[in-house]
Amino acid sequence: MTPAAAPPAAPPAAPPLAPSSAIALEKVEKRYPDGTLANSGVSFAVAAGETHALVGENGAGKSTVMKMLYGLERPTAGILRVHGRPVDFRHPGDAIAAGIGLVAQHLNLVASLTVAENVVLGHEPRRPGGRLDRVAAAARVRELVEQSGLAVDPTATVASLPVGVRQRVEILKVLHRGARILLLDEPTAVLTPPETATLFATLRQLAAAGRTVLVITHKLDEVKALAGGVTVLCQGRVTGSARMAELDEGALSHLMVGRELSPPAPRRVAGARPAPRIVARGLGYVDDDGAIRLRDVGFDVAPGEILGIAGVEGNGQDVLARLLSGAAIPSAGDARLDGRVFTGLSPRAARALGVAVVTEDRLHDGAAPTLSILDNLLATRYAHPPLSRRGLIDRRTARRWAQAVIDGFGVRAAGPYQPMGALSGGNMQKLILAREIADAPAFLVASQPTRGVDIAAAAALHTRLAALRDQGAAILLISADLDELLALSDRIGVLYRGRIVARFEAGAVDAQTLGLHMTGLGPRRERGDHDAVA
Amino acid sequence: MSLDLVAAGTVAAMVAVATLRAATPIVFASLGGLISELAGCINVALEGVMLVAAFAGVITSAYSGLWFPDAPLWLHPWLGCAAGLLAGTALAGLLAVFHLELGADLIVAGIGLNILAQGLTVLLMAHLTGDKGSTASLTSFALPNLRWPELGDVPVLGALLNGDGGAGHNVLVYGALAATGLIAWTLRHTVFGLRLRAAGENAEAALAAGLAVKRLRYAGLLLSGLLASGGGVFLGMGYLTLFQADMAAGRGYLALAAVFLGGRRPLGTVVAALVFGGATVIAARLGLLAVPAEVVFMIPPLVTIAALVLVKQHQRLAARRRAAAGRATLLSS
Amino acid sequence: MTPSREGARIALAVGAALALGFAIMACVSDQPWAALRALLTGPLPSIERAVDGRVVVHRLVRFGAWLQDATTLTLVGLAIAIPFRARQFSLGADGQLFMGALAAAVVSLGVGDVPAAIALPLAFLAAAAAGAAWGLVAGLLKTRFEANEIVTTLMLNVVAVQVYRLVVGRVLNDPTAGFITTPPLPDAATLAPLIARTTVTAMVLVAPAAVAAALFLLRRTTLGYEIDLAGANPWFAVRAGVPVARATVLAFALGGAFAGLAGFHVSNALLKRLPIDLTPGIGLEGIVVALLARGRVGALPLAALGYAYLRVGAQAMERATDVPREVVLVIQALIILFVVSDRLAPLALGLARRTGARVRARIGGRAA
């Protein structure tokens, strides 16, 4: 598509393109009421029509910059300029009026409404009497779909859509308002490689049509693939700003974390595999709506082995993790640990048999943010000695253990009584893993163990997982991060629409091939019998 | 049509009329509860809103009669109605301010306002009339009834439209029906309804879409206050023609139950409200037989609990059926 | 927030509520100052030296009423606060209290001629068990059927009051009494006053003991931990293997047991017989007490003492002046609203500061 065919800006209020910077921050500071300093002296500029990457570790203050640019937060000092004019956004409505659109990290859609309703929300086509014009809304979405190449059905309910499609809806929403400046906060975190490629093509096309794009990412290759310029944030300050042409990946990585990080060398099981510890056969699950979420899933995991499960979110990984940890009852099949069935019981019973679980969404069901670190660590161990006897909890022993965990796992925390919610994602995840492996589980189900975690913490978590494996535990690693899967797994299975559609020895596959299978495009590779690759 | 059929139809119409009359305040309040729930901040103060509205309506109509003896008689009840709606809406506005501006917990603040309404109405009633029980010593006015005398002779329909003894129905009974339709239409078809639901379901998304979420929630709470006030005004100026201490008698809480029972949908909510109304009618009919009053008074709360349980069981059975069907597919493939 | 700042905030809220309450009194009363005085000093006994030099204590009855009311309030406060640890908003203390009182009376009247050492513990346990059972129902409705506990507890309150009236009026009725009530409970089953001329009994010591027991249970036992975790994040608790449903049900039952003890206090210590028109509503007062204590179980007795003081003062006020006691409902409501409004104090302080600055600026401007 040529720039001439770009969608017209809908609100006439969209400011004209100035030749200068589209966005400029001058010594911007954000201090939250509780005293936390999220940003300090942040200055950088993005030229109109440029695609600019904002990189940095978790907690570096990138999202805060985005929120200030979108009127969700107000800077406590400094000046924001849009097209050269200083702005003071009190409300996202102000930012929208200034031609700015945000595609947030946690997709901001109303699940029970349709795609069209979500896209037009806030700028709805109307009929007399304050009525919503649903026909015009759907037509507008079709028009936007045609212009942008982002395929979505306008009448579908958002709740029924996979994450990748929902993100397209977010982008359409931004385009509907005629945004000239797009802010994207980690847009690829939930996408498969092919979806990422589609997104990048769309972004390039939008940039070619004169739009300015500011994108937050963790991933260096994405910076290289997309951006013309890059700004690095570290602990709320800008530590570097450069044109991409001037940098190579190593230099950029160094800039980001202050040191080069190498993935842990996985120790593959040498020689003959021991007998499998985990044997799953024919696992199937039907949800309350009668939809088949998982069917005929079987696999073996040996002690000292990591089985990776790849797949696009929503293809059954969450269900598989719940079945294997006792949180859901399989509709068909079972799984055994050393010959004993551990599915279909309860989380407590599964844990008693030696199963541990790192859940996918740590804030939802992996931790209690309002309780202390100590109380969070206790959750899986409080019922047994040495932490309790005859129903009485030994608080002193518990506190000593919690302090030992904090020290041993390098968690940055004030002490065992600090609320869990006050910690960064990485530190929280370290504590969760520490809790789950404290009783030396025979089988660990780890779902997205490093999602949203900074690079250093992710490396530490990977080391712990490898150590657990070396102690002889069987591990099922479910991850959307293909690099992580490839680095840690001994074998990898791909889940697609609730089935394992492909199985690989980890050394014999690359991310591109996995990506094809994750989207159902790969040649069928599943062999009939389950221990074919075991 | 045979005579028996007509007689049966007339009895059914009478029961329907009694149910509608008993349910009208609950219908109003439950619509208010629904709209606040959909806006994301459920109005627990419905009970207090009804009390305040009933009190303000009755007192205003009575004083209007005392102060403007020369004004036409029809004016007093309508002045009272306006004052009742205003006062009830103001109480809901107070809840909105406490919750949205001052960060008060919605449920606790709602309960607090219910207690405030209970105390203030009795306090003012004692001050104005010297009686802590009711305003029987004042002459207050009822809102008019609508009658269709020309249909009086039509079997069943006449009984349905003109009620017991041909007195017709209070204008607010029709008001409740109209409000049901209007609210259902507004939520489904208007931009305001779309925005209200969006703000209620996902405030963050609504905010990011540029919607003024706080203003929408104010609108939701104020509207809920206005609707529940309709129920309160009916209690004092239709159902009875005076104000009694604690006149709402738990209807505000029943209305909340109706919202959940009705699956947070307008029609379901109103049906649930009608069921609650019907329970009180049945209780009253049983009271005429030799059933002890205490047992009769247990019926509405037990019906509420049973309904909550049955709805859940129904949902569960439906889910189990769907799951079984899915499982059959799973196993056969 | 630190306990001391929290305490200051609550003191501020109570002060503001009293001030507003006084403003309302001034509107409806001819003698607002007398009313305020009665409200604030009503519960205190007056100690005078008589002409002959002896010390005479007057109005001990009201002082007793204060302690006695604080006992009830502490127990119903527990009935609210414990389920709230599991994030359950139980409003069922009323029904649990009625059931507890009824069970205590039935057992006391039914055991026959036995010594106090048998009759008292039996009635005590019966009250706790009946309250717990009534709480258990709400808990099971919540965990088995996801029935909203606010609705079910309110409905169960209505049912409990009607069951109480049915039994008192039609089964236990004492036809010789002249009003509808049970016969007087046998002496062996009732508690004697600790202070002469008052209704203060050993229950005044049971209340703090109950708080201590509840604190121990919540802080030191695995069940207490389970209740806390179920309240903080039930989804997490389930995944961690905590029996969330059991903990939730037990939280309701435990709360109910304490409300049942409040019922025992009413029947076997306070009234010593149960009239049919025992007034419901004390359960809702438990919410105020739990709120004033900010959910801290250890702070419940203090909150109960403070709030009971106000209630007894209101009765004194109603007797002494033309202000009806309902003014305390208003003050109670205002306390609730002010205490839960987290942003009220900062807002008020900020406003005061800004106004002060503006005034100073204006004065300074004039001086310049």
Judging contacts by C-beta atoms under 8 Å, the chain A residues touching residue B190 are 129-132
> Is C204 near chain A, with CB under 8 Å?
no
- Tell me the count of B-C CB pairs closer than 8 A: 137
User: How far apart are the C-alpha atoms of A252 and A234, rounded to whole Å?
Assistant: 13
Q: How far is CA C323 from CA B48, C23, C34, C311, in A?
A: 22, 12, 10, 14
**Per-residue model confidence (pLDDT) at position A268:** 54
pTM for the structure as a whole: 0.80
Please check whether residue B184 lies inside any domain of the structure: yes
Residue C13 has pLDDT above 80, yes or no: yes
pLDDT (mean) for C94-115: 93
Residue A476 has pLDDT above 80, yes or no: yes
The number of folded domains in chain A is 3
Residue C242 has pLDDT above 60, yes or no: yes
The sign one gets for the Cα dihedral A505, A509, A515, A521 is negative
User: How far apart are the C-alpha atoms of C40 and C218, rounded to whole Å?
Assistant: 35
Asked if A395's CB is within 8 angstroms of C239's CB, the reply is: no
**Per-residue model confidence (pLDDT) at position C58:** 67
More confident of the two residues C3 and A134: A134
Residues A93 and A236 in one domain: yes
Bridge partners (DSSP) listed for residue A279: A300, A336
Please check whether residue A194 lies inside any domain of the structure: no
Asked if B323's CB is within 8 angstroms of A287's CB, the reply is: yes
Please check whether residue B201 lies inside any domain of the structure: yes
Q: Which chains touch B (3 or more CB pairs under 8 A)?
A: A, C
Checking A82-86 for CB contacts under 8 A at 24+ apart, the result is A82/A15, A82/A22, A82/A23, A82/A181, A83/A15, A83/A16, A83/A17, A83/A18, A83/A20, A83/A21, A83/A22, A83/A48, A84/A18, A84/A20, A84/A21, A84/A24, A85/A15
Q: Which of A70-84, B47-61, B292-306 has the lowest mean pLDDT?
A: B292-306
pLDDT (mean) for A420-440: 90
Judging contacts by C-beta atoms under 8 Å, the chain C residues touching residue B261 are none
**Per-residue model confidence (pLDDT) at position A524:** 57
Q: Which residue of C has its CA nearest to A324?
A: C239
Q: Which residue of C has its CA nearest to A326?
A: C239
> Is B132 near chain A, with CB under 8 Å?
no
User: How far apart are the C-alpha atoms of C172 and C149, rounded to whole Å?
Assistant: 31
- Tell me the count of A-B CB pairs closer than 8 A: 101
Residues A95 and A214 in one domain: yes
Max Cα–Cα distance, chain C, nearest Å: 90
User: How far apart are the C-alpha atoms of C100 and C253, rounded to whole Å?
Assistant: 12
pLDDT (mean) for A488-513: 89
Please check whether residue A47 lies inside any domain of the structure: yes
Residue B131 has pLDDT above 70, yes or no: yes
Tokens of B10: 């007339």
More confident of the two residues B80 and A453: B80
Asked if B206's CB is within 8 angstroms of A121's CB, the reply is: yes
pLDDT band at residue C299 under the 50/70/90 scheme: very high
Q: Which chains touch C (3 or more CB pairs under 8 A)?
A: A, B
- A130-145 pLDDT, tens digit each: 899 999 999 999 999 8
- B277-300 pLDDT, tens digit each: 888 887 777 777 777 878 877 877
pLDDT band at residue A257 under the 50/70/90 scheme: low
Nearest CB among B192, B202, B323 relative to A110 is that of B202
In terms of Cα–Cα distance, which of A211, A344, A338 is closest to A274? A338
DSSP state of C53: S
Residues A79 and A126 in one domain: no
pLDDT band at residue A18 under the 50/70/90 scheme: very low
- Whether A53 and A220 have beta carbons less than 8 Å apart is answered as no
Which of A322-336, A496-510, C318-332 is most confident? Answer: A322-336
DSSP state of C266: I
Residue B154 has pLDDT above 60, yes or no: yes
> Which residues 369-428 of chain A have a CB within 8 Å of chain C?
369-371, 375, 378-380, 382-383, 388, 391-393, 395
Residue A33 has pLDDT above 70, yes or no: yes
More confident of the two residues A270 and B230: B230
Nearest CB among B115, B256, B309 relative to C333 is that of B115
From the CB of residue A282, how many other CB atoms can be counted at a distance below 10 Å?
Answer: 16
Please check whether residue B193 lies inside any domain of the structure: yes
- Cis peptide bond N-terminal to C193, omega within 30: no
Please check whether residue B293 lies inside any domain of the structure: no
Nearest CB among B191, B205, B212 relative to A132 is that of B191
Asked if C28's CB is within 8 angstroms of B115's CB, the reply is: no
Per DSSP bridges, beta strands A21-31 and A77-82 are: antiparallel
Q: What percent of chain C shows pLDDT beyond 70?
A: 96
Please check whether residue B219 lies inside any domain of the structure: yes
Tokens of C84: 């709230």
From the CB of residue A459, how many other CB atoms can be counted at a distance below 10 Å?
Answer: 17
**Per-residue model confidence (pLDDT) at position B333:** 67
pLDDT (mean) for B164-173: 82
Distance from CA of B260 to the nearest CA of A (A): 17
In terms of Cα–Cα distance, which of A330, A331, A321, A332 is closest to A355? A321
Asked if B333's CB is within 8 angstroms of A108's CB, the reply is: no
Judging contacts by C-beta atoms under 8 Å, the chain C residues touching residue B116 are 329-330, 333-334, 337
Q: Which of A50-59, A297-306, B127-136 has the lowest mean pLDDT?
A: A50-59
Judging contacts by C-beta atoms under 8 Å, the chain C residues touching residue A444 are none
**Per-residue model confidence (pLDDT) at position A492:** 94
Nearest CB among C223, C226, C229 relative to A368 is that of C229
**Per-residue model confidence (pLDDT) at position A249:** 61
Residue A254 has pLDDT above 70, yes or no: no
In terms of Cα–Cα distance, which of A158, A122, A168, A116 is closest to B206? A122
CA atoms within 13 A on the CB side of C14: 17
User: How far apart are the C-alpha atoms of B263 and B268, rounded to whole Å?
Assistant: 6
Nearest CB among A102, A123, A286 relative to B327 is that of A286
Residue A348 has pLDDT above 50, yes or no: yes
Q: What percent of chain C shows pLDDT beyond 90?
A: 47
**Per-residue model confidence (pLDDT) at position C367:** 47
Residues whose CB is less than 8 angstroms from the CB of residue B148 and which lie 6 or more positions away in sequence, other chains included:
B158, B161, B162, B168
In terms of Cα–Cα distance, which of B95, B122, B44, B116 is closest to C332? B116
Burial bucket for residue B4 (CB in 10 Å: 0-12, 13-18, 19+):
exposed
pLDDT band at residue C268 under the 50/70/90 scheme: very high
Tokens of C237: 């608790």
Residue A129 has pLDDT above 50, yes or no: yes
Gap between the terminal Cα atoms of chain C = 42
Residues A251 and A290 in one domain: no
Please check whether residue B304 lies inside any domain of the structure: no
DSSP C174-199: -TTSSSSBPPPPPGGGSPPPSSTTS-
Asked if B119's CB is within 8 angstroms of C329's CB, the reply is: yes
Residue B51 has pLDDT above 60, yes or no: yes
> Is C276 near chain B, with CB under 8 Å?
no
User: How far apart are the C-alpha atoms of A119 and A101, rounded to whole Å?
Assistant: 12
**Per-residue model confidence (pLDDT) at position C251:** 97
H or E segment to which residue A330 belongs: none
pLDDT (mean) for A378-386: 91
User: How far apart are the C-alpha atoms of B88 and B54, rounded to whole Å?
Assistant: 8
More confident of the two residues A125 and C59: A125
**Per-residue model confidence (pLDDT) at position C245:** 96
The sign one gets for the Cα dihedral B109, B111, B117, B123 is negative
pLDDT band at residue A12 under the 50/70/90 scheme: very low
Bridge partners (DSSP) listed for residue A500: A495
**Per-residue model confidence (pLDDT) at position A190:** 66
Dihedral angle of Cα B118, C284, B111, C11, to the nearest 10 degrees: 100
User: How far apart are the C-alpha atoms of B92 and B114, rounded to whole Å?
Assistant: 10
Q: Which of A20-29, B322-331, C44-53 has the lowest mean pLDDT?
A: C44-53
**Per-residue model confidence (pLDDT) at position C326:** 85
Q: Which of B151-155, B266-270, C271-275 has the lowest mean pLDDT?
A: B151-155
Which of A45-54, A101-110, C237-246 is most confident? Answer: C237-246
**Per-residue model confidence (pLDDT) at position A256:** 58
Alpha carbon C203 to its chain centroid, in Å, reads 14
pLDDT band at residue C193 under the 50/70/90 scheme: confident
**Per-residue model confidence (pLDDT) at position A2:** 39
Residues A253 and A285 in one domain: no
pLDDT (mean) for B231-260: 90
- C72-86 pLDDT, tens digit each: 999 999 999 999 999
pLDDT band at residue A260 under the 50/70/90 scheme: very low
Q: Which residue of B has its CA nearest to A97?
A: B210
Q: Which of A351-360, A470-479, C315-324 has the lowest mean pLDDT?
A: C315-324
Phi and psi, residue C62, nearest 5°: -70, -40
pLDDT (mean) for B177-184: 95
Residue A5 has pLDDT above 50, yes or no: no
**Per-residue model confidence (pLDDT) at position C112:** 80
Query: What's A291's domain CATH number?
Result: 3.40.50.300
Q: Which residue of C has its CA nearest to A432?
A: C240
Dihedral angle of Cα A221, A225, A229, A235, to the nearest 10 degrees: -30
Please check whether residue B313 lies inside any domain of the structure: no
Domain boundaries, position A133: 106-179
User: How far apart are the C-alpha atoms of B255 and C56, rounded to whole Å?
Assistant: 55
H or E segment to which residue C234 belongs: helix C234-239
> Is C243 near chain A, with CB under 8 Å?
yes
- Whether A425 and A58 have beta carbons less than 8 Å apart is answered as yes
> Is C166 near chain B, with CB under 8 Å?
yes
Q: How far is CA B63 from CA B3, B67, B237, in A?
A: 49, 6, 14
pLDDT (mean) for C356-360: 74
- B196-221 pLDDT, tens digit each: 999 999 998 998 888 999 999 999 99
- Whether A225 and A64 have beta carbons less than 8 Å apart is answered as no
Residues A213 and A92 in one domain: yes
Name the fold adopted by C50-316.
ABC transporter involved in vitamin B12 uptake, BtuC (1.10.3470)
Domain boundaries, position B152: 3-260
In terms of Cα–Cα distance, which of B330, B275, B333 is closest to B304? B275
**Per-residue model confidence (pLDDT) at position C360:** 73
Please check whether residue B281 lies inside any domain of the structure: no
Asked if C287's CB is within 8 angstroms of B123's CB, the reply is: no
The number of folded domains in chain B is 1
Asked if A327's CB is within 8 angstroms of C239's CB, the reply is: yes
Asked if C336's CB is within 8 angstroms of B305's CB, the reply is: no
Q: Which residue of C has its CA nearest to B101?
A: C343
Nearest CB among A93, A121, A129 relative to B194 is that of A121
User: How far apart are the C-alpha atoms of C77 and C71, rounded to whole Å?
Assistant: 10
Asked if B305's CB is within 8 angstroms of C284's CB, the reply is: no
- C132-183 pLDDT, tens digit each: 999 999 999 999 999 889 889 988 998 999 999 999 988 988 888 888 899 9
Q: Which of B106-110, C214-218, C354-358 has the lowest mean pLDDT?
A: C354-358
Distance from CA of B3 to the nearest CA of C (A): 42
> Which residues 308-337 of chain A have a CB within 8 Å of chain C?
325-327
> Is A499 near chain B, with CB under 8 Å?
no
**Per-residue model confidence (pLDDT) at position A449:** 92
pLDDT (mean) for C86-106: 94
Phi and psi, residue A101, nearest 5°: -130, 145
pLDDT band at residue B73 under the 50/70/90 scheme: confident
From the CB of residue A456, how many other CB atoms can be counted at a distance below 10 Å?
Answer: 16
Q: Which of B118-132, C38-52, C98-112 has the lowest mean pLDDT?
A: C38-52
pLDDT band at residue A407 under the 50/70/90 scheme: very high
Which of A28-32, A355-359, B261-265, C154-158 is most confident? Answer: A355-359
pLDDT (mean) for C311-322: 85
Q: What percent of chain B shows pLDDT beyond 70?
A: 98
pLDDT band at residue C346 under the 50/70/90 scheme: confident
- Whether A471 and A490 have beta carbons less than 8 Å apart is answered as no
**Per-residue model confidence (pLDDT) at position C363:** 66
Q: Which residue of A has its CA nearest to B195?
A: A121
- Whether C341 and C15 have beta carbons less than 8 Å apart is answered as no
pLDDT band at residue A253 under the 50/70/90 scheme: low
pLDDT (mean) for C125-131: 97
Please check whether residue A468 lies inside any domain of the structure: no
**Per-residue model confidence (pLDDT) at position A16:** 39
- Whether C175 and C264 have beta carbons less than 8 Å apart is answered as no
**What's chain B's average pLDDT?**
89
pLDDT band at residue C69 under the 50/70/90 scheme: very high
